Amino acid sequence: MTNSADNHWYPVAMSSGVTGPRDTQLLGCKISLGRTNDQFWVRDANGRDMPVIHKYGHLWTSPGKPNRDLFAIPEADESGRRLVDVGSVRVKCSPLRAVENFLDIAHFPFIHSDILGAEPHTEVARYEVKIHEDVNEIWATKVKFFQPMAAKSAAGGIITDYKYRVAAPTVSILYKTSPPRPGEWDVIALFVQPLTEELCEVWPWMALYDDDAEQADLVNFQQMIFMQDRSILENQIPRKLPLDPGMETPTQADMTSIAYRRWLKKLGYSYGAQVVAA
């Protein structure tokens, strides 16, 4: 069975971490990657060269024929931003579950207590979700949430504005109020490498305005946030993301998640998904 999942770009390494050749997995298949002089390469299990793009601190490849370029993050080129490679964390969950969790706001007070949310400020106000047909991306806008410590650079609680974007089936990007520059957006992306349908490597990456923090503190902050999610992700049932309504009852706060599932279904993207109604 050919899977439409083949025809997308996936992150497979943080480029600064590629020294000697090494093996990894993509969509259940072994691949290898490395660098020769200044040239990065990725090969499939038969030793055939796969396409490589080096962008946003990571190497991207595809087992098939992507019908579009890698998505754009124009903010990456803006001067004054710090680009932060956070490194990878391996999670025993569907790659789609990892993306969906990243899109969710309602869990902040319970999982990221006193950081990204705090009881009793648990309400997710109405926001807007649209599919941008020209680029085939999902955008959630006008999201607002009270956060005690929105970023490493935050001095106290603020109402944080968010925008969420699904740029590819396993890539989600959020834009949030930058505490030191309230008129600007910090960019935090989650690049998910599907190792198998129930195992993924997650590569967070950030483009922030923060002139003060140590790089290590920015990395540790983001790893702390993501690791708070990990134990939740590994315990979600069913293991694969259901694309049809059934066992799970969504609420208004889940509008982005509903749009994501419908969008995946329309794309015919079934890797890591449960396509039969439960």
Partner 1 sequence: MILYDYILSASCYKVRLMASLIGVPLTLKGVNFHPEKEHKSHDMLALNPDGTLPTLVDGDRVLTQSTEILRHLVSNKAPEWLGKTTAQTDHWLLFASALNSSLGMARLHDILSYETDIDQVRRDGVAQLRHLEEHLTEQRIEGLAFLTGDTPTIADIACFPNTALAPDGGVSLDPYPAIRLWMRDIRSLPRFIEMPGIHRMHELVDPSGATA
Give the per-residue contact string, 52-91, with partner 1 (x = CB under 8 A; - = no).
Answer: ---------------------------------xxxxxx-
**Could you give the CA distance from residue 159 to residue 177 in angstroms, rounded to a whole number?**
9
Name the one range near partner 1 by CB under 8 A: 31-39, 134-142, 208-216, 259-267.
208-216
Phi, psi at 75, each rounded to 5°: -60, -25
Residue from 227, 247, 277, 278 that binds partner 1 (CB under 8 A)? 227
For partner 1, which stretch binds (CB under 8 A), given 9-17, 26-34, 174-182, 244-252?
9-17
Q: Give yes or no for a cis peptide into 148 (omega within 30° of 0).
A: no
Q: Please pick, from the candidates 77, 128, 215, 246, the single residue that binds partner 1 as defined by CB under 8 A.
A: 215
Of 126, 182, 214, 252, which lies in the binding site for partner 1, with binding defined by CB under 8 A? 214
User: Are the C-beta atoms of 20 and 35 separated by less than 8 Å?
Assistant: no
Residue 30 within binding range of partner 1, rule CB under 8 A: no
- The distance of closest approach from Cβ of residue 120 to partner 1 in the complex, given in angstroms and rounded to an integer, is 9
How many Å is the Cα radius of gyration of the chain? Answer: 18
Locate the DSSP E strands across 79-196: 82-85, 89-91, 128-132, 137-147, 158-168, 171-178, 181-196
Restricting to residues 98-117, name those near partner 1 by CB under 8 A: 110-111, 113
Q: Which residues does 268 contact at the CB level (< 8 Å), separation at least 6?
A: 4
Instruction: Count Cβ atoms below 10 Å from residue 231 Cβ, excluding itself.
Output: 10
* Total interface residues for partner 1 by CB under 8 A: 30
Using CB under 8 A as the binding rule, the residues of this chain from 116 to 135 that contact partner 1 are: 119
β-sheet bridge partners, residue 42: 33, 50
Residue 42 lies near partner 1 (rule: CB under 8 A): no
Which residues contact partner 1 by CB under 8 A? 14, 16-17, 85-90, 92, 110-111, 113, 119, 214-217, 219-221, 223-228, 230-231, 234
